[in-house]
């Protein structure tokens, strides 16, 4: 038998724990990454933490044990140590609907639901195969009690006269064999020719936790021999005092941070450990370098100083009661962060400036934002966002070559609208189409990935947080197949979500969610969504849901009721993942006469999770105002208002924008003049070399 199958078994738990995160530049074709089932409706971005295997020398010292499972394999009486009966088939693919994990013939165990590959009876113990190895996994077990702390105990040995055998012990919460599992962790133990009892402990167990013991070839020089397993016991501990939970750290400054954890009833104090890790050259050993060890703390937070900027740290905490009894050590919390960059002073020269900032230790890239502040001239509806979504380009600047009649089934993980009036709109699993932008609901249904157009960070706090979103939508249709072989044809629906920043979690939290009915695949329709919970730091997301099909969007307008004099900070530049510590900025005509501000953050990728970490932003700094937007010339031209019309005298190109950046005219003067009828308001008139602000 091909021994590579056991590599797949050992990595199988991790494989179903989630798909890897692709880079933002990736153009992804529709490929199923997980079982094709629908994800529950929650647009809050999921975060997965790889929980560590606990190291507890004497679990019974922490409290009283309760057995969840015990198996002595006394029904496997065939064979013996050194001579397992390889003619006995312990497993069958017909035992359950999940033959990879639940395939043990029930007569051989006292509790049904076991599984394995290449295993044989050996005189009331289980043996893996010689040369090929094998695996043995428990049934799904309810280990959710006692804060999800669970212990796997078993006996193991090898044949006499063979080299010690390494085995992998791993666990996962399967959520009743759902498409996505939560990996609890894995560890390696070494088995000798003498019977020994091994105990491996895990955090985060749930209602359907499965444990897996694997013998596979670990390296090219690793000689695989039989491993015998007996007396498997899974148990929990009712502790003398409960374990605290390490919470997100705050106030990261490079040289310090503040660690937090939950309060435990009956605790008179806590012991905090802070450390970094170093992996051995061969990748088999991890050494902890303690910055703080058993630091006594009376509160549920502590300032940790003396850290090296950009280095990764971890902290754990134990509760202590009046009798001096300690809780289990909490799962470690990772401190993977960067300092905020510091912006240098920038000055506008003509219509340009150079933004510069400090180099941040361990930073790989930087995200830069520039804004201009718009002021409401009068009470009433004020447009925050006005994106036609017409004339969009591919990321490389090329033109779109597909259409509704000849669609594409590729999409970008992140497509930032280009060109745009307001910077930072991100089409997740999106791609430009003629006259609109498209997001692919197929990726949402089958790959459980967001498929939607998401705004930049916007101030939506005016008018008590009431926000109007107007957009034109066009849907598509797609088939959803069921396990019985039947299918249902569905039409795209739209979900509009509002997210507000939550300082307590350091992320956005979903505050509001509204749905449309099925959307016509034949033509665009007008949709208005009224949101009511906007905040000073909000995002809006417009998502494809219900059907594995496209959702097309165009003519997006976001507005609020403003009072005269209220201001809106509008992003006009988003420099994403910049490799240098500077950026040259040209202020657009729509921002002339408006205060310019900017900020920057540092970015790096976590090598363990492949997730991107962004530092907190620098302080927002003022840049200045583009001056000289008075009546100026084209070629000795003048700009004035006559009889309700905008009049330009001179020769050359002319562009006219509303104050919120919408272009209302783009052309040239004819015979040295131009007259354009306009509604009363404020406009920016841009010529080849100059601009003028006109109010009438």
Q: 652 vs 426, which has greater pLDDT?
A: 426
| E strand residue ranges, 57-164 | 63-71, 115-117, 119-121, 126-128, 134-137, 150-158
Whole-angstrom distance, CA of residue 218 vs CA of residue 104: 25
**pLDDT value at 42 more than 50:** no
CATH number of 4-239: 2.60.120.260
The candidate with the shortest Cα–Cα distance to 65, out of 240, 295, 260, 308, is 240
Please name the helix (run of DSSP H) or strand (run of DSSP E) that holds residue 14, with its range, or none. helix 4-15
What is residue 147's three-state secondary structure? Answer: helix
* Confidence category of residue 290, pLDDT binned at 50, 70, 90: very high
Full DSSP string of 261-322: E---TTEEEEEEEEEEEEE-TTSS-EEEEEEEEEEEESSSEEEEE-PPTT--EEEEEEEEET
Q: Give the pLDDT confidence of 224-264 residue by residue, as tens digits.
A: 999 999 999 999 999 999 999 999 999 999 999 999 999 99
* Confidence category of residue 285, pLDDT binned at 50, 70, 90: low
**pLDDT value at 634 more than 70:** no
615 CB contacts (<8 Å, ≥6 apart)?
A: 252, 337, 338, 339, 340, 341, 360, 363, 601, 602, 603
Residue 527: the pLDDT is: 97
Residue 38: the pLDDT is: 29
Q: How confident is the prediction for the chain on average, in pLDDT?
A: 88
Residue 22: the pLDDT is: 29
* Confidence category of residue 283, pLDDT binned at 50, 70, 90: low
| Residue matched to tokens 């959710």 | 144
> Which CATH superfamily includes the segment(s) 340-379+564-622?
Immunoglobulins (2.60.40.10)
Q: According to the per-residue pLDDT averaged within each range, which of 54-58, 480-484, 485-489, 546-550 is highest?
A: 546-550
Q: Whole-prediction pTM value?
A: 0.75
Q: Does the structural domain 638-695 have CATH classification 2.60.40.3080?
A: yes
Q: Return the domain boundaries, the chain.
A: 4-239, 246-335, 340-379+564-622, 383-562, 638-695
CATH class of this structure's domain 383-562: mainly beta
Count of beta carbons in the 10 Å neighbourhood of residue 408: 16
% of the chain at pLDDT higher than 70: 89
Identical fold at 340-379+564-622 and 638-695? yes
Q: Give the pLDDT confidence of 444-480 residue by residue, as tens digits.
A: 998 889 999 999 999 999 999 999 999 999 999 999 8
Q: Give the pLDDT confidence of 301-356 residue by residue, as tens digits.
A: 999 999 999 999 999 999 999 999 999 999 999 999 999 999 999 999 989 999 99
By the 10 Å C-beta count (0-12 exposed, 13-18 middle, 19+ buried), 461 is classed as: middle
CATH class of this structure's domain 246-335: mainly beta
Whole-angstrom distance, CA of residue 229 vs CA of residue 206: 25
Q: Give the pLDDT confidence of 58-79 residue by residue, as tens digits.
A: 888 999 999 999 999 999 999 9
């Amino acid at each position: 038998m091909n021994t590579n199958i056991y590599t797949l078994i050992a990595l199988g738990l991790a494989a179903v724990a989630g798909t890897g995160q692709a880079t933002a530049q990736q153009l992804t074709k529709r490929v199923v990454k997980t079982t094709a089932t629908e994800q529950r409706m929650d647009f809050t971005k999921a975060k997965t933490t790889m929980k560590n295997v606990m190291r507890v020398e004497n679990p019974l010292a922490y409290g009283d044990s309760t057995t969840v499972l015990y198996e002595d394999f006394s029904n496997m009486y065939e064979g013996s140590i050194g001579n397992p009966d390889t003619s006995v088939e312990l497993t069958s693919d017909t035992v359950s609907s999940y033959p990879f994990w639940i395939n043990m013939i029930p007569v051989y165990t006292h509790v049904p639901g076991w599984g394995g590959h290449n295993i044989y009876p050996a005189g009331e113990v289980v043996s893996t195969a010689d040369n090929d190895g094998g695996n043995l996994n428990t049934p799904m077990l309810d280990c959710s009690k006692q804060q999800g702390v669970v212990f796997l105990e078993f006996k193991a040995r090898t044949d006499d006269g063979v080299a010690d055998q390494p085995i992998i012990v791993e666990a996962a919460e399967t959520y009743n064999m759902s498409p996505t599992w939560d990996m609890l962790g894995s560890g390696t133990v070494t088995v000798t020719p003498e019977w020994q009892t091994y105990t491996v402990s895990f955090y985060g167990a749930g209602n359907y936790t499965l444990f897996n013991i694997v013998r596979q070839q670990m390296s090219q020089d690793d000689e695989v021999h039989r491993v015998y397993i007996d007396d498997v016991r899974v148990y929990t501990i009712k502790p003398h005092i409960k374990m605290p939970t390490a919470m997100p750290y705050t106030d990261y400054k490079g040289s310090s941070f503040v660690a937090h954890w939950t309060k435990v009833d009956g605790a008179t104090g806590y012991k905090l450990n802070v450390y970094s890790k170093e992996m051995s050259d061969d990748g088999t050993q991890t050494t902890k370098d303690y910055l703080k060890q058993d630091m006594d703390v009376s509160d549920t937070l502590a300032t940790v100083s003396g850290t090296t900027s950009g280095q990764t740290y971890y902290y754990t905490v134990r509760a202590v009661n009046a009798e001096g009894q300690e809780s289990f050590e909490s799962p470690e919390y990772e401190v993977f962060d960067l300092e905020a960059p510091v912006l240098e002073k920038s000055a506008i020269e003509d219509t340009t400036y150079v933004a510069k900032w400090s180099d941040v230790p361990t930073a790989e890239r930087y995200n830069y934002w520039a804004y201009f502040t718009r002021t409401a001239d009068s009470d009433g509806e004020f447009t925050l966002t006005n994106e036609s979504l017409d004339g969009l380009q591919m990321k490389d600047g090329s033109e779109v070559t597909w259409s509704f009649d000849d669609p594409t089934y590729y999409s970008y993980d992140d497509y930032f609208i280009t060109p745009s009036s307001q910077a930072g709109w991100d089409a997740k699993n999106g791609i430009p189409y003629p006259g609109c932008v498209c997001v692919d609901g197929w990726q949402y249904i089958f790959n459980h990935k967001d498929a939607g157009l998401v705004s930049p960070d916007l101030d939506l706090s005016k008018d008590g947080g009431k926000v109007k979103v107007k957009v034109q939508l066009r849907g598509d249709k797609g088939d959803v197949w069921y396990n019985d072989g039947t299918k249902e044809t569905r039409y795209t629906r739209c979900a509009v979500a509002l997210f507000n920043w939550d300082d307590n979690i350091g992320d956005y939290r979903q505050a509001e969610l509204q749905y449309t009915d099925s959307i016509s695949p034949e033509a665009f329709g007008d949709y208005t969504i009224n949101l009511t919970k906007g905040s000073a730091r909000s995002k809006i997301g417009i998502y494809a849901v219900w059907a594995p099909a496209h959702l097309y969007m165009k003519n997006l307008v976001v507005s609020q009721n403003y009072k005269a004099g209220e201001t809106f900070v509008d992003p006009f530049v988003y420099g994403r993942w910049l490799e240098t510590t500077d950026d040259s900025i040209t202020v657009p005509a729509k921002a002339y006469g408006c205060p310019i501000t900017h900020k920057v953050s540092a970015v790096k990728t976590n090598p363990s999770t492949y997730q991107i970490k962004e530092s907190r932003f620098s302080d927002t700094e003022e840049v200045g105002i583009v001056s000289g937007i008075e009546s100026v010339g084209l070629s000795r031209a003048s700009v004035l208002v006559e009889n309700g019309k905008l009049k330009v005298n001179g020769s050359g190109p002319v562009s006219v924008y509303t104050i919120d950046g919408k272009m209302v005219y783009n052309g040239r003067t004819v015979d040295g003049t131009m007259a354009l009828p306009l509604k009363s308001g404020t406009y920016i008139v841009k010529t080849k070399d100059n601009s003028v602000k006109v109010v009438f």
